[in-house]
Structure 1
């Protein structure tokens, strides 16, 4: 339609409603701000629809496309983007020596009951099942059929937050049904946004953030707590953010430093004052230029969200490309955003979310099934509707170099994987941010490949839910594979078919799922203790494992 502003992809036609002025806390109409004021805008424009991942992969370069042959080639580059790119609405798709092993989260297994009932958001069928705390699977079992994974967790967090900054209702379809995103949803409600579950139609969010005197609990979500810190830093109220025992051990100085430089007052806990729970007194922010000490989409996003209410533009420089969801979704919400190489600049202004956001499948969850199908004999599995945009398809590049039989359909977002003979590869420190969450399952692939696979620059994995580097070494040791930590590198020696044993998740959802896939593809029985951790991001994982492998529940 001429003049229609679309979202990243082929968004549905906007619902044409008469624009109205932004409603503030309590639904009261607010007076118009003077032109030029931060967040100014006399009326809320009617936003378009935004359907993420409705069939395209990242533009601006060679993307993962329909493969002409069965074997994926080394030309899969899913994170390429032009220099000097202005991110305007519709411009780009969003589709799409061996030291000691140390501790895993203090040596105590985390225990979290999954969030249930009407609080859980998402479009995947809600099936009330008992919590599976221990899972045993006998391999090898082929992976066959078609699987649809939950909505992308990273995009879900951002969709809720950006929708809560708007003044018109925004409906989100395909929201992740994991506990992490449920906590973010509850946080938006606590801060004053209206969040309505409309069943099959999705979740509708209407903004109006007013703050809360109560502490906001983000559970196990590092993304949730770090991004939310940036969001509330722009508001003239005080917010206390907290999480579970794992979150209270994870470093928060990486967001405290830039937010403090912008003018927010952030008071943390612990001897260093840099741990959760921490309190953010926001408002009165200044735009800054900030260079990330480590590549982190979470830190970048926290700064960019705070920049929305600063007194001028804010620029973030990245040492390596990270997922670009925040800047792309802000651009589609009417915010002025510009990217130049590895730098992104955001100007303060009104946030006008699309009236509809459709969230595609999570590539980090898809990776488990893709690897399973590659390493288990007799497998042929398709994962449907997966987001494969910038800095998210790195695991496909790694597997392609290893010789995986993978085909990616750029129009549907489907990934087909079949049994493959894998060879070792080297994952550079520069490319690791594009597959950081997939390293546990890529390590399983490496353990079943021919040769020694090296993951470089894995220090960031040590400050996840647990020390995942140590967790991977322990898991592979139980299963009969050899791995070694050399400084910031992790080397995994292929052992052919993996054996059996009992693997402890230590409360880490990705370790629990990686161990389960290893069990299904291996040659003996594997028991996963602490399997309930999968509720963090993938409550239906056990059900889908049964479906893909033919294992009776």
Structure 2
């Protein structure tokens, strides 16, 4: 087992240069396994992310009788069992650190004839689940949680579900997706209205599998009983993972890197808009479609960044990228302020508190708010930071190490493998001075 003391050590070096291929999109890889398992026929998935989170999803469906066949390093065939073909697992389904797996599977498993228990690691077991379990219960699902509304979750089978209309108070792709998946098993139509834009990978991919998912503005719906037809899924490179080398290159003088075939879905491309607002030189070329998803080749060159007030409307479009964006803010001239981002407090860690503590430890002036953070740029020195077992915190401070004159040691980084296996060799190949230590 990897030791909790596993760490990254990064120090300032030369510029980052060259081209690198980032691993496949985590959100799309999860859904490819889930929807392929429910489809009639055999689905081929190319570019699948072989990270711990997505492998946890794969193992869960294999435990329910789905055959997943590797055909290349990042490609597999999923032999679908149909909408009602899953079988009861012989044990609890351990989803590790994957909140996406747990929340989406709550909806999917609510419509099964058998009962299941979903568990996870210590971090996942602290994350709130009532935002999913409460609306599912309104459809007729029966899900038991702890008194705090956290995992383990016991999902009782054989419950008749009824479609209904939901008005979400917060835009959430995971809640929306759980309700749409439950809606496939419900009588009638399930409709979800959101107050803002959230990721639309579920709607796009269900359509690829032949499901009718009408979308009108911020409203989407699904009619119960529709079957999925096997297809071919091409998973683009993950924009969230690409953000770490993008930010490292933006803040490191004379850097110039390219990242091919990155997903640029408008519902999650807020990070690119925010970087451009800060003065980053980001170019998108060869924009094209990979199945239902837009992709592009990204190029970024070092530039003088400046602080900005990030518009609240962009927050949900970049929610996973804020650890890296705060690194960019630390290297920008002036103040950067984020508000309306309380969701960051219930991720794999409290990312507002974790980033505030880490930035202060390396010489940056910050002010923490309940729903955001203010960063005064221009004062990075170096030091030791704790990642709090959060992959995005760890990779963000590794990127910041590229300009830290005293170097940065990031502790407790084993969880990087959940989303970005090969992070260290990829960053080293671009020129980052980084090493792993136990």
Shorter chain as denominator, the TM-score bin is: over 0.9
Query: Normalising by structure 2, what TM-score?
Result: 0.93
CA contact (8 A) 1:500 1:524 kept: yes
Matched, 1:519 2:401: yes
SS of the residue 1:502 aligns to: strand
| Aligned position for 1:123 | none
| Aligned position for 1:453 | 336
Contiguous gaps of at least 5 residues in structure 1: 1-111, 115-130
| Aligned position for 1:221 | 98
What are the superposed Cα offsets for residues 94-117 of structure 1, whole Å, 9 maximum, x if unpaired? xxxxxxxxxxxxxxxxxx749xxx
| Aligned position for 1:168 | 41
Stretches of 4+ aligned residues off by more than 4 angstroms: none
Matched, 1:183 2:56: yes
| Cα distance, 1:167 vs structure 2 | 2.1
For 2:227 and 2:373, locate their aligned partners in 1 and report how far apart those are by CA, in whole Å. 42
What are the superposed Cα offsets for residues 278-323 of structure 1, whole Å, 9 maximum, x if unpaired? 1112441100111222221111111111111110110111111011
CA contact (8 A) 1:183 1:217 kept: yes
CA contact (8 A) 1:376 1:522 kept: no
- For residues 71-220 of structure 1, the aligned pairs below 5 Å read 113=2, 133-200=6-73, 202-208=75-81, 209-220=86-97
SS of the residue 1:431 aligns to: helix
For 1:295 and 1:350, locate their aligned partners in 2 and report how far apart those are by CA, in whole Å. 25
CA contact (8 A) 2:424 2:434 kept: no
- For residues 489-528 of structure 1, the aligned pairs below 5 Å read 489-496=372-379, 498-528=380-410
Contiguous gaps of at least 5 residues in structure 2: 289-294
For 2:34 and 2:14, locate their aligned partners in 1 and report how far apart those are by CA, in whole Å. 41
Matched, 1:432 2:315: yes
Match of residue 155, structure 2, among 271, 276, 280? 280
What are the superposed Cα offsets for residues 5-39 of structure 1, whole Å, 9 maximum, x if unpaired? xxxxxxxxxxxxxxxxxxxxxxxxxxxxxxxxxxx
| Aligned position for 2:182 | 306
Higher strand share: 2
RMSD over equivalenced CA pairs, Å: 1.7
Query: Normalising by structure 1, what TM-score?
Result: 0.74
CA contact (8 A) 1:164 1:193 kept: yes
For 2:2 and 2:194, locate their aligned partners in 1 and report how far apart those are by CA, in whole Å. 36
| Aligned position for 2:360 | 477
| Aligned position for 2:424 | 542
| Aligned position for 2:292 | none
| Aligned position for 1:10 | none
Task: Tell which deviates more after alignment, 210-219 or 469-478.
Answer: 210-219
Match of residue 107, structure 2, among 230, 249, 259? 230
CA contact (8 A) 1:375 1:445 kept: yes
| Cα distance, 1:234 vs structure 2 | 1.4
What are the superposed Cα offsets for residues 433-485 of structure 1, whole Å, 9 maximum, x if unpaired? 11000000000001111111111112100001110000010111011111112
Work out the number of aligned pairs and report it. 423
Match of residue 412, structure 2, among 530, 536, 541? 530
CA contact (8 A) 1:179 1:535 kept: yes
- For residues 256-335 of structure 1, the aligned pairs below 5 Å read 256-269=133-146, 271-272=147-148, 274-282=149-157, 283-335=159-211
SS of the residue 2:366 aligns to: strand
| Cα distance, 1:408 vs structure 2 | 0.8
Structure whose CA Rg is larger:
1
For 2:348 and 2:36, locate their aligned partners in 1 and report how far apart those are by CA, in whole Å. 27
| Cα distance, 1:550 vs structure 2 | 5.5
CA contact (8 A) 1:152 1:363 kept: yes
For 1:468 and 1:312, locate their aligned partners in 2 and report how far apart those are by CA, in whole Å. 39
For 1:362 and 1:349, locate their aligned partners in 2 and report how far apart those are by CA, in whole Å. 32
CA contact (8 A) 1:140 1:377 kept: no
What are the superposed Cα offsets for residues 37-84 of structure 1, whole Å, 9 maximum, x if unpaired? xxxxxxxxxxxxxxxxxxxxxxxxxxxxxxxxxxxxxxxxxxxxxxxx
For 2:55 and 2:357, locate their aligned partners in 1 and report how far apart those are by CA, in whole Å. 31
CA contact (8 A) 1:330 1:351 kept: no
Higher helix share: 2
CA contact (8 A) 1:150 1:362 kept: yes
Match of residue 397, structure 1, among 273, 288, 295? 273
| Cα distance, 1:201 vs structure 2 | 7.4
